[in-house]
Structure 1
Amino acid sequence: MTTLAWGFDALLAAGMLWLGWQALFLSRRFAAVVHFMAFQLLMALAWVRLSAPDIALAEAAVGAGVTGALLLTALGRLPAGTSLGAHPHRWQRPCAGWRLAPPASALAGWPGWPTLCLAPAWRWRSPAHSMRQASATLSLRCC
């Protein structure tokens, strides 16, 4: 990749981070919805950069288009004077549940533990090898 492509990707990532932060923490709901829609458009552009135009089209249509229209419609149906959030700093409180992160990650990894233990015992063989083994077993039983 060229320096220009790296710069564009870095600018795209920084723009996505900034728009995502603004969409989450703005106190004005209309501005938050507009930032959310812009974030979804940048996300579609990121999918284009990753050579996935089908996902990019779906992201632009559903993420920015339909979801943005639904959010703007819901915002328009709110009573007058409620465009500002009741508690704009509600999401900025420190999370008290950080102590649950280690047990939650242990529980999330628990179903994969048998798979990791049994992985060396699994020997992936080609179908031709399986056919030879089956025919050898069959020939031994017939004789």
Structure 2
Amino acid sequence: MYQSLLLIHSWSRWFVLIFGLIAVYRAYVGWTARRPFLSADNGMGASFSGFMWLQVLIGLGLYFGLSPWGLNAMKQAGAMKDPTKRFFGLEHVVVMILAAIVAQVGRIVVKKTSDATLKHRKALTYFGIALVLVLIMIPWGIWNPYRPLFRF
């Protein structure tokens, strides 16, 4: 069960990244070109936010039950001194939940805004911040523990 959930969590991050990049790109182009806020713009933001929350739910399943790097690692003495245990036991979880919250708040703020240019600017701001947080906390191996880009 652990391997299956980890595989799903690993592969679905690509949907978060793809929809996040598309949402940020569409927001930037819409803002700079002063074009109307289309249903496709709304759909990309919804997809980005939705996949973010899917990742959070899968990640919490790993964290609280199945993963040796989640809550189980944090219960061990000296976990905060071990960079890998600290990353997966605290940093990754907290920042990714924060990123999902930022993306969701962005969706709400964009929906409540009436001006199209302002919608694009707010979408760019919120989705851009959420995407940067995601990019920082994915275990690429640059500044955090390395994990394979594609699990099989």
TM-score normalized by structure 2?
0.37
TM-score normalized by structure 1?
0.39
Q: Radius of gyration: which is bigger?
A: 1
